[in-house]
Structures are given as C-alpha cells and as structure tokens.
Amino acid sequence: MALVLYAGGGNKNAFKALIAAEYSGVKIELVKDFQMGVSNKSAEFLKMNPIGKVPVLETPEGPVFESNAIARYVARVKADNPLYGSSLMEYAHIEQWIDFSATEVDVNIGKWLYPRLGFYHYVAVSEEASIAALKRALGALNTHLASSTYLVGHSVTLADIVMACNLYIGFARIMTKSFTAEFPHVERYFWTMVNQPNIRKVMGDVKQAESVPPVQKRTAAPKEQKPKEAKKEAKEAPKPKSVEKPDEEEEAPKPKPKNPLDLLPPSKMILDDWKKLYSNTKTNFREVAIKGFWDMYDPEGYSLWFCDYKYDEENTVSYVTLNKVGGFLQRMDLCRKYAFGKMLVIGSEAPFKVKGLWLFRGTEIPKFVLEEVYDMELYEWTKVDISDEAQKERASAMIEDLEPFDGEALLDAKCFK
C-alpha cells in the first residue's frame, strides 16, 4: 500500500510531507478531489482523525495526523536520512527548530492572519500582541541566520522544510516587504529555501503579499421566521436588513493598558529633548551635548546602566558580531519611548568586545524589557554611580564614541534613540 495524503491543494501543512518525500525518495499519493468541509467530515475520514483536521497520512500500519508528525514519519521511512542530521546534537537542534517554528512562528502568523480573513473574531489589541510576538520570533531567527545558510548544519534538514512551509503562509498572505525588511537574513533564507528544486516542485512560484488583508466582518445567518411574521415584516419594511449578532460585529479597539513607567512621577528630564540634542549637535559635542546631558539627567526619574557582553570570546567574526548587536537593538524597540542606548563594538581584531550604556526611565531596568528581550541575559548589567567621576567620564566617553576606548579602536558604535 502506498502512502496516501489527505489534504487539499495548496495546504502549507501538506507541503511539509510532500517536500520531505521529495528529499527522501518516498512516494506519496495526494488523494484526488479532496474538498475541505466535505471530505474531512465523512465517517471514513473521522475514523482516521476524530476531529476532522487535515492533513492525514494513510500508511500500511495505520493513519498519522498532525503535519509535523507526518513529516517526521516520512523522513524516517528512509534509513539514516540526512534530513535528520549527522549527529545526536544535530538531531536535537532540528527538533528544537521544528518546535520553535510551530510555537513561535506559525502560531503568531495565524493569530495575525486568520482573524483578518474572518475565521476568528478580530480584536485589535490581540492582533497587536500577535505582531509583537511574531517580530520577537523573527528577530531571534534573523540573528541565528546571520551566520548560517540553513537552520542546522550545511544542508537542508527537516527543520528547514517545516520552517519554510510555516513562513510560506506569512510571506504569501500578510507579511509584506515593508514588514519583512526588518529581518533581512530571514528574507534571504526564505527565498533561498522556496527556490530549492525539491521545494519549488511542491510549492510552485511563490510571490510575497503586496498588502495586509483588510478585516472581514463575520456575519450570522438570519433567524428563521414563521410565515405570518415574514409576511408582516415584508409589508412593514420593503428593504430587508441583514441580521448580525452584536457579539459578531467588529470590535472597537480597546485602550491599551498603561505602561507602569507612564505612572511614575513626572521627571525634569524630557527624554525627547535629550534625543534631539544628541541628534542635532554636530560640533563641540563634548561642550554642547555631553554637558547638556548631565544638566538634564534626573537620577530620581532615570537610571544609567553599563552592559558588558558575557561571551566576548565568541565574537570572532566582525560582521556576525555587528549583526548580533543590531538584532539586540531591534528587539529593544519595544522600549524606545523609555530608553536611550549606545552600543560599542571594540577592537581592530578578533575577539571583539561588546559594551554598552543605557538610559532607562525609572530607577531600575524596566521589568517588561527584562522579560521580553532575551538578549538582556547575555549581558552583565551594572548601574552607573554618577558620584564616581571615573564612571561618569566613562559614560560620557561612550555617549561621545570617544576613541580609543579602553585603549582600543572602535570597530563600530550604534545608537538607540
């Protein structure tokens, strides 16, 4: 008995098994004339998957459902399949990225896309949270891919197949170029993957979405009326009106909850004023901008922090180090309203040192930053003691990009403002 896959054409979850089969030399027959909402409601189908979800793979040993499980099965049909890596650690990393793709990428693309298509109730605040979570996931993926062509090792694995299929629905339906441009390594990776011959054979030509789908209202069918009531209504109202349940109408955006930092007592330091001074000072930086900063600084409303990367010995490639810092700054975007930062990459040869200075609203590092930006734990954080002239001067030198710094040249200096 051949392997038979039950799914409709164009199903990105079915693509996973079909692509794995192409790489593994496994033959899969895609069932003909499959109709969603009809075929998957039949008694025969429900015996294979009691909740009626697709895809389902029919095998000589019985059915398998859930797309990642099906893809794993197909890859395992071939002994020592390179899709599963060449070592136990590669196998673990492949499984790691398959799970990441499912729980961080696919889920959040779906939470953004499907309410807009009318499959679920649309809530603006929920959409905003989903987009933020998706950006966080793509930021992490972008950092990993900055120094890698594939997710694991030096060739396509099952992790790449699953990731490409999950990214496919995002790129094709809702993630426009203006959205994905923030993640250049993810873009490069996706287009590399979908143009692999075995993937292109299944997916065909892929084009990126040109716009975000507008929100579709979900409407309820009109209630049945008794013949007399219907006749009476027809006389009273020549133009019938559609009936919609109030709870199925598009919800008005709910007000965002207040950030705890917005509830702090007013500060004499206006962060935007400092950012403008920093940006607009072109000459006499020390006398104008640095002096202005210390005149503005309010230790009761703000705090200054040095950060030192804990793993400088890993910074052996300049562009990878710079991409690492760039990814960190991208993920810090959620606190732009409450922070200013300088990140220095130090040294003329490897290993490069990464150090930074950050100004945060409040007397401690904001809790939501520590919780949401995973890079924070990669740095050692030390509060600046402005009563110590040496520390104060070091902070000034970092704001100014003073070179040499710690006796070494600056490879790069990045500003977050």
Q: Write the pLDDT tens digit of every residue in 192-232.
A: 999 999 999 999 999 999 999 998 865 444 444 555 554 45
For residues 89 and 185, membership in a common domain is answered with yes
Distance CA 186, CA 206 (A): 15
Distance CA 239, CA 342 (A): 65
If one counts the domains in the chain, the total is: 3
Verify that 311 and 372 share a domain, yes or no.
yes
Q: Where are the alpha helices (DSSP H) in 246-304?
A: 271-280, 285, 291-296
Please report the pLDDT score of residue 253 as a whole number.
47
Whether residue 301 sits in one domain with residue 411:
yes
| Backbone conformation region of residue 53, classed left if phi is above 0, alpha if psi is from -120 to 50, else beta | beta
Query: 90-99: b or e for each residue (b if 16 or more CB lie within 10 Å)?
Result: beebbbebbe
Identify whether residues 402 and 286 lie together within a single domain: yes
DSSP string across 287-302: IIIIHHHHHH--TTTE
Judge whether 246 lies within some domain: no
* Whether residues 38 and 165 fall in one domain: no
pLDDT at 372: 86
CATH of residue 96's domain is: 1.20.1050.10
Q: Are residues 411 and 270 in the same domain?
A: yes
Instruction: With a cut of 50, list the residues of the chain below it in pLDDT.
Output: 219-224, 230-231, 233-235, 237-253
The interaxial angle of helices 107-116 and 124-145, nearest 10 deg, is 140
Please, are residues 101 and 169 in contact by the beta-carbon 8 Å criterion?
no
Q: Of 77, 100, 134, which residue is a domain's last?
A: 77
Domain of 389 in residue numbering reads as 263-416
Distance CA 122, CA 133 (A): 17
Q: Which of 203, 227, 245 represents a domain boundary (last residue)? A: 203
Clarify whether residues 46 and 121 are in a common domain.
no
The alpha-helical segments, DSSP class H, found in 256-388 are 271-280, 285, 291-296, 318-331, 367-372
Query: What is the model's pTM?
Result: 0.55
Three-state DSSP at 346 gives strand
Query: Are 412 and 270 in the same domain?
Result: yes
Instruction: Express each pLDDT in 142-191 by its tens digit.
Output: 999 999 999 999 999 999 999 999 999 999 999 999 999 999 999 999 99
The count of C-alpha atoms lying within 13 angstroms of the C-alpha of 308, restricted to the half-sphere facing its C-beta, is 7
What pLDDT sits at residue 1?
Answer: 57
* Same-domain pairing of 50 and 31: yes
Do residues 73 and 94 both lie within one domain?
no
Q: Looking at residue 255, what is its pLDDT?
A: 57
Q: Is residue 270 part of a domain?
A: yes
Indicate whether 28 belongs to any domain.
yes
Q: What is the pLDDT of residue 248?
A: 32
